[in-house]
Structure 1
Amino acid sequence: MNPIELLRLPATVLLVLAAVLLLLSLLQLLTLRRRLDAGARLAASGHALLCAACFALAVLLGVSGWALRGYRLLGEESPVVDIDAHILSPQRWALTLIWPDGSTRELQLAGDDWRVEAVVLKWKLPAQLAGLSPLYRLDRIDGRYDDPAQEASAPRTVIGLGSADGFDLLDLHRQYPRTLPMVDAVYGSGAFLPLVDGGHYSVTLARDGALVARPDAATQQRISSPLGG
């Protein structure tokens, strides 16, 4: 990823701005020291206020940027994850998740279908008009049974895909809503498809915040004709 692409990530932008403001606060602190040594107390007071303001804003942007980790800009239709499935035993599956950056994760699910869910953050109109796109973060993947009775009684598998440290933008917005006044709504979106042996699926997220799951042509044929007919 080149530097331009990095700067398009909201978390990176906020953290870079936080670092710049922290540097400015340090420069103001040095200037404040010189003004005090020179006996210019009135000028020192102005630098003290500016130093405090830069530091407070740096902390605010730094916390927001740290909480944004795991979220991505949502374009017209953004790739979220590809999924490869292989059967282990009846209603037991091995899945390989392939992220847009090429990294992978292996996991196992029980059920007839896989289901993936994401958290979507939508900005208020002024932020949208300024060009700020919605954000999303994958939350979990789980197995789903076709039979509702089996869904209620059979073993279920739910695997989290969110932040490992349990703190992110959603937590920040819930605990300190005034910290992010431009947030309009935070909601969930999900999609599921039947599991077939050798299946390959692509999950994308549309601009309106809806997850879209698509099988490739061979997988769609297996879904349509599960017995090979």
Structure 2
Amino acid sequence: MNWNEVLRLPTTLLVILTGVVLLLALVQLLAARQHVRQRRHIAAAGHSLLLVVFLLLAAFLGGIAMSLRGYRFLGEEAPVAQIDARILSPQRWALTVTWPDGATRKMMLAGDDFQVDAIVLKWKLPAMLAGLPPLYRLDRISGRYDDASQETTSPRTVIDFSQAGADDLFDLKKQMPRWFPEVDTVFGSAAFLPLVDGGRYSVSLMRTGALVARPDDATAQRMGQPFGG
């Protein structure tokens, strides 16, 4: 079931209802003005009361519509990278990273898992509900060992993707926070998965700013076997 489609339907209906209620409010406003000109104060007061009711109802329906729209957006994901893995020797891997624009980069990695780290800039709730997506910068891809003690003794691999400069947006947020009033926070997000020979993984960014890594179906089946085999 596609929950984005399920949420989109009531959102559209609520927007239409909000428009209808606003039209009714406009009718009450025009009627109230007409009665005021005719010095029918009781009738004018009645239409004014209905005007307030319709405006409150429109605000309520519009608020629900925006909330549903926001939740639909929060569930959407933007592709970050595709990773293809090939084993060279136990705990040694050749990775090919493909970006959404088709560019690729090959690298060697040591460990049992790959880990992708990104720096994410998240907007405040009004801007986020309006549809403004979080910004991200891929920071690094590193190898990760299943045995924590092995992390201190075995070779570690870190591929740096950071290209921050003096005018980097994330650094400017830290240096001049007042210049970015709609920025909620800047934080790190990471995702990792076990490496298997011939594995293919997709990495995406959710509207919440969380990185998500997923294997394809064939890779998920191989992950049920001993890693590295």
SS at match of 1:224: coil
**How far does residue 165 in structure 1 lie from its aligned partner after superposition?**
4.0
Aligned length: 157
Report the aligned-residue RMSD: 2.3
Where structure 2 has 5 or more consecutive residues not aligned to the other structure, the ranges are: 1-73
The residue aligned with 1:150 is: 150
Distance 1:148 1:141 in 2: 18
Confirm or deny: 8 A CA contact 2:96 2:106 kept in the other structure: yes
Give the 3 Å change call, closer, same or farther, for CA 88–165 of structure 1 in structure 2. farther
Give the 3 Å change call, closer, same or farther, for CA 167–198 of structure 1 in structure 2. farther
Give the 3 Å change call, closer, same or farther, for CA 123–142 of structure 1 in structure 2. same
Confirm or deny: 8 A CA contact 2:202 2:213 kept in the other structure: yes
| 1:29-84 Cα distance to aligned partner (Å, 9 max, x none) | xxxxxxxxxxxxxxxxxxxxxxxxxxxxxxxxxxxxxxxxxxxxx98111110000
SS at match of 2:223: helix
Confirm or deny: 8 A CA contact 1:121 1:183 kept in the other structure: yes
Determine whether 1:192 maps to 2:196. no
The residue aligned with 1:114 is: 114
Distance 1:197 1:96 in 2: 12
Q: Which amino acid aligns with 2:193?
A: L
The residue aligned with 2:168 is: 168
**How far does residue 116 in structure 1 lie from its aligned partner after superposition?**
0.3
Where structure 1 has 5 or more consecutive residues not aligned to the other structure, the ranges are: 1-73
* Range moving further from structure 2, 119-128 or 141-150: 119-128
| 1:84-103 Cα distance to aligned partner (Å, 9 max, x none) | 01111211111000001100
**How far does residue 167 in structure 1 lie from its aligned partner after superposition?**
4.7
| 1:163-191 Cα distance to aligned partner (Å, 9 max, x none) | 26465111111111122121111111111
Q: Which amino acid aligns with 1:158?
A: V
| 1:103-131 Cα distance to aligned partner (Å, 9 max, x none) | 00011111000000111111123323443
Identical pairs, percent: 69
Q: Which amino acid aligns with 1:96?
A: T
Distance 1:125 1:86 in 2: 42
TM-score, length-scaled by structure 2: 0.63
The residue aligned with 1:133 is: 133
Distance 2:148 2:192 in 1: 15
Give the 3 Å change call, closer, same or farther, for CA 208–136 of structure 1 in structure 2. same
The residue aligned with 1:216 is: 216
Give the 3 Å change call, closer, same or farther, for CA 168–143 of structure 1 in structure 2. same
SS at match of 2:151: helix
Confirm or deny: 8 A CA contact 1:86 1:93 kept in the other structure: yes
Confirm or deny: 8 A CA contact 2:114 2:143 kept in the other structure: yes
Which structure is larger by alpha-carbon Rg, 1 or 2? 2
Confirm or deny: 8 A CA contact 1:222 1:228 kept in the other structure: no
